[in-house]
């Protein structure tokens, strides 16, 4: 069965410092991996995805994520956090086998960036 774990309910970072939001996954096949962000009173927005190729994926708003197959992880990172990055972040996985359109989301990690 597919699953996604985001081990931290909340991550606190000072503005200007690097941030990491952790995600590990479990799928029976090879995964497509996604990060979405949810700002207050707004719908989920796509940040970035891993399909194949380079393990370091760059996305919107300066975010990037590193796919690590051996550790089954897809941690979200940003070199310098902004107060405006404060939001709820969701990691998601989809099995790339034919017909696998079901996306499994993690429980979310709330990022709080302090000025």
Partner 1 sequence: DTGVSQDPRHKITKRGQNVTFRCDPISEHNRLYWYRQTLGQGPEFLTYFQNEAQLEKSRLLSDRFSAERPKGSFSTLEIQRTEQGDSAMYLCASSLAGLASANEQYFGPGTRLTVT
Q: Is 8 strand, coil or helix?
A: coil
- Residue 107 within binding range of partner 1, rule CB under 8 A: yes
Work out which of 22, 82, 86, 104 binds partner 1, going by CB under 8 A.
104
Please tell me the total number of residues recorded for the chain in this structure: 115
Identity of the residue, 18 or 39, whose beta carbon is nearer to partner 1 in the bound complex: 39
Work out which of 27, 57, 108, 111 binds partner 1, going by CB under 8 A.
108
Q: Which helix (H) or strand (E) holds 74?
A: strand 73-78
Nearest-angstrom CA–CA distance, 43 and 37: 8
Residue 94 tokens read as 């989809």
**Cβ 28 to partner 1 shortest distance, Å:** 14
Work out which of 7, 14, 18, 51 binds partner 1, going by CB under 8 A.
51
């Amino acid at each position: 069965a597919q699953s996604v774990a985001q081990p931290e309910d909340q991550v606190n970072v000072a503005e200007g410092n690097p941030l990491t939001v952790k995600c590990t996954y479990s799928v029976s096949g090879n995964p497509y991996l996604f990060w979405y962000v949810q700002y207050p009173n707004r719908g989920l927005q796509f940040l970035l995805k891993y399909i194949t190729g380079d393990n370091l994926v760059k996305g919107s708003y300066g975010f990037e994520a590193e796919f690590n197959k051996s550790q089954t992880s897809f941690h979200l990172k940003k070199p310098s956090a902004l107060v405006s990055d404060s939001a709820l972040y969701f990691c998601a996985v989809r099995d790339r086998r034919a017909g696998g359109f079901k996306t499994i989301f993690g429980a979310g990690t709330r990022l709080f960036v302090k000025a």
